[in-house]
Structure 1
Amino acid sequence: MFPIPDVIPGDVTRWIVGFLLAMIVAFAGFRTRSLSASGAITAVATGGLLVGAGGWWSGLLLVAFFVSSSALSRAWPKRITAGTRIRQARGHRRDAVQVLANGAVPVICALAAVSVADPVPWLVAAASAIAGATADTWATEIGRASSSSPRSIVSGRRMAPGTSGAVSGIGTMGSAAGAVMIAVLAAAGAATNVWANVAAPSIFVVVAVAGLAGALLDSVLGATVQGIWRCPACNETSESPRHQCGSAARLVRGIAFVDNDIVNALAIAGAAGAGMLVMSLLR
């Protein structure tokens, strides 16, 4: 994402300013109720580390993910709440675990880039991870506006809106749009020589495809291994073993300890791995 000298950890100014900017963005997220207190604190750490190790462009990609995802979560609040009630374990405010699920992989990739001779594949991996997180979030938020029920990505069976592993046409298009947005920003960095002379079209294709692949992997994992629970009192499904009504739910699908955060982290890691592998082959 950046010229090789820009990822050398000796640039103390970038680290300091990166953490200050992360504090501003996190505070804004907390005030707008997009982040919980723990989520805001964790966002400062992840954002500061990403900018410090990965450079300014990495921070821009992360901000683009956070701002766009927060905006989409508020795009159709009344329609979504009334028409497509999603029984999730948590609300729209991202907590520390959710922030880490989406941000830990890009940070790890950026930190790894500092310690290798050729940081570009690792930085592409970080961008691909952010593209995967964006694609998945956009798919979820935009898919909730669908007028038809989604289908399981594995069986094709109709499922309730918001069910993990369910996909819709509009949600898939939203997923592709999210990946493309991050890919465009990453390619813009290549056009300004941010990517150490890597061609912008290559960056765009790698990041967009890896991001979309990560979102699809998220759906596959959500449909197969993620734990889904059913409340015996309300007969409603939930992603938490404790339903909103307070009753203990029964595991009806997947692995008990695999929740949505673990699925997100695995899918984002998959996007990062795909992006890094392809970029390494291209170089």
Structure 2
Amino acid sequence: MMIVWVVFLIIICILLYLLQKLTFAGSVTAFIIGGATVVGVGPAGLLLFAVFFGSSILLGKVKGAAVDEEVVEKHGKRDAFQVFANGGYAGLCSVLLVFFPSLATILVAGFVGSLAAAIADTWASEIGKLSQDKPIDVLTRKKVEKGVSGGVTGLGMAAAFAGSFVLAGVAILIWWNETSVSYLWLFFFIFVGFVANLLDSILGSTVQGLYQCPNCGIHTEKLHHCVKTVKIRGFSFVTNDVVNLCCTGAGALMGMIGAVIFF
């Protein structure tokens, strides 16, 4: 049966590469994480990845979703770091489940919490771009350009909540639908996703590198715009991928801690 899932993952990753959704390295990373998921939490775990990544692709096609191309560092195909930043901790939780089966509830909660954080952040970013209002910095409350890390909108915050709700609902149908506290799991993972997304915004507003183009004055994550940009905030090594890695890591950690304390 494992061979069937390996072949399935190979086909999916090749298809995503041919459709230019992933780079070659990104598709290899996706295959490794997918394989780890099947081995640990089981094939049902791939459904959560499908919810996350499938919704990301669909939202990327929405009219107006590319309004921040001048601001964000990466567009188009997802590379290996982007794939790992969003799914790496989920894959790690799944692998650990193989060695520590007695911690199944805790590690599955970490798996779900990580992906709840990833989908909340993605939905907040992609849907938030469609807001008619300019984003405001989560800490300074000043208006910023769309796509600038740390900027939030009411629509984006609502989208983070909705994304967490959708992913948590699917997870409960898979693992906790017959428990008497399934509604508590739902609220818990919504909370995890929302808080992790908020942490992502705070890190984006403080430590993520932000640059300004001396020629046109735009604030951007790019090292080169019209000309070489100048860093005005944060650390150059803290990119959006690093912040996303912190976001999903926080989601996994909150998921595991919450499972220990509350369940």
TM-score, length basis structure 2? 0.93
Asked whether 1:110 is paired with 2:94, we answer: yes
User: Following superposition of structure 1 onto structure 2, how do residues 127-142 of structure 1 map, counting pairs within 5 Å?
Assistant: 127-142=112-127
CA distance in 2, matches of 1:41, 1:236: 35
CA distance in 2, matches of 1:19, 1:235: 49
Change (3 A) 1:165 1:120: same
Identity of aligned residues (%): 30
CA distance in 2, matches of 1:32, 1:175: 27
Match of 2:151 among 141, 161, 166: 166
Q: What does residue 9 of structure 1 align with?
A: none
Q: What does residue 47 of structure 2 align with?
A: 60
User: Following superposition of structure 1 onto structure 2, how do residues 238-253 of structure 1 map, counting pairs within 5 Å?
Assistant: 238-241=220-223, 243-245=224-226, 247-253=227-233
Q: What does residue 129 of structure 2 align with?
A: 144
In 1, are the aligned partners of 2:123 and 2:159 still within 8 Å (CA)?
A: yes
Q: What does residue 82 of structure 2 align with?
A: 98
Q: What does residue 30 of structure 1 align with?
A: 17
Q: RMSD across aligned C-alpha pairs, in angstroms? A: 1.7
Change (3 A) 1:189 1:199: farther
SS, match of residue 232 in structure 2: strand
Q: What does residue 255 of structure 2 align with?
A: 275
Asked whether 1:216 is paired with 2:198, we answer: yes
Runs (4+) off by over 6 Å: none
Change (3 A) 1:48 1:198: farther
SS, match of residue 252 in structure 1: strand
Change (3 A) 1:212 1:20: farther
Match of 2:73 among 89, 101, 116: 89
In 2, are the aligned partners of 1:231 and 1:238 still within 8 Å (CA)?
A: yes
In 2, are the aligned partners of 1:86 and 1:161 still within 8 Å (CA)?
A: no
SS, match of residue 103 in structure 2: coil
In 2, are the aligned partners of 1:19 and 1:49 still within 8 Å (CA)?
A: no
User: Following superposition of structure 1 onto structure 2, how do residues 225-244 of structure 1 map, counting pairs within 5 Å?
Assistant: 225-241=207-223, 243-244=224-225
Match of 1:119 among 104, 114, 133: 104
Amino acid at match of 1:26: C
Match of 2:246 among 218, 241, 266: 266
In 2, are the aligned partners of 1:190 and 1:200 still within 8 Å (CA)?
A: no
Segments of 5+ residues of structure 1 without an aligned counterpart are 1-12
Q: What does residue 41 of structure 1 align with?
A: 28
TM-score, length basis structure 1? 0.87
In 2, are the aligned partners of 1:19 and 1:45 still within 8 Å (CA)?
A: no
Amino acid at match of 1:89: E
Q: Displacement of 1:73 after TM fit? A: 0.6
How many correspondences in the alignment? Answer: 262
Segments of 5+ residues of structure 2 without an aligned counterpart are none
Q: Deviations over 1:192-222 (max 9, x none)?
A: 55xxx57422322222211111111111110
Q: What does residue 166 of structure 2 align with?
A: 181
Amino acid at match of 1:156: R
Please identify, of 200-209 and 136-145, the stretch whose mean Cα deviation from structure 2 is larger: 200-209
Q: Deviations over 1:6-26 (max 9, x none)?
A: xxxxxxx34x33332322322
In 2, are the aligned partners of 1:20 and 1:48 still within 8 Å (CA)?
A: no
SS, match of residue 72 in structure 2: coil
Amino acid at match of 1:215: N
SS, match of residue 119 in structure 1: helix
Change (3 A) 1:190 1:184: same
